[in-house]
Amino acid sequence: MVYEFIENGTLLDHLQGQKKLERSLLTWKHRLGIARDTAEGLAYLHFMAVPPIYHRDVKSSNILLDSKMNAKVSDFGLSRLAQTDMSHISTCAQGTLGYLDPEYYRNYQLTDKSDVYSFGVVLLELLTAHKAIDFNRDADDVNLAVYVQRMVEEERLVEVIDPVLKNGASAMEIDTMKALALLALGCLEERRQNRPSMKEVAEEIDYIISIATANDVKN
């Protein structure tokens, strides 16, 4: 398989770059655009492809950025066509630690809502610039999804927002960051039937972008 040349590497490269400059290139506008591009790509796989395709390994290292910071979903090595029977059940680990749907451990099935869960983790990465799994955090906070959920419950969400985004941000920008965090947590609902579809996620991100864009016009 031959891929087009992607000038800006992966999303993970930028979020975890050794130089602060690499992360500063990802403005809030860029991050919202990356979230939208990725959500729309996954929604296409789920709703427009015939039969639907489940990616099954959505993560920041599988999101490529071109010269204009447009996002492209890559690496379909674990992808599967949707099946109506139970033949897609597997007892072998599928996916990546920190992004894997917790319901997989109950029934060994990965579905469209498993991609939604993984994408929720990517949204948190975009918002916080933290790793999905980081053993440098406290033992209870190693998992980013668990960590952010706790901070939200303690009404300390703003503390985990990437300082590159937070410093100098307007009140409206902070509000849209909070909105994206709440959307991410919706994607991370433990029971998959409580999670939105990727189409609904893409629509919500479009709505958040519309708010951010309207604020830019006013300014």
d(CA 152, CA 155): 5
Just list the catalytic residues: 57
Mean pLDDT of 158-178: 94
Give the model's pLDDT for residue 23.
Answer: 64
Mean pLDDT of 180-190: 97
Nearest by Cα to 152 from 141, 163, 139, 164: 141
Residue 87: pLDDT above 50? no
Residue 165: pLDDT above 70? yes
What is the set of domains in the chain, with CATH numbers?
11-78+89-218 (1.10.510.10)
Pick the residue with more confidence: 203 or 74? 203
Q: Per residue in 18-66, pLDDT tens?
A: 545 566 678 999 999 999 999 999 999 999 988 888 888 899 999 999 8
Least-confidence region, from 2-16, 29-43, 143-157, 196-210: 2-16
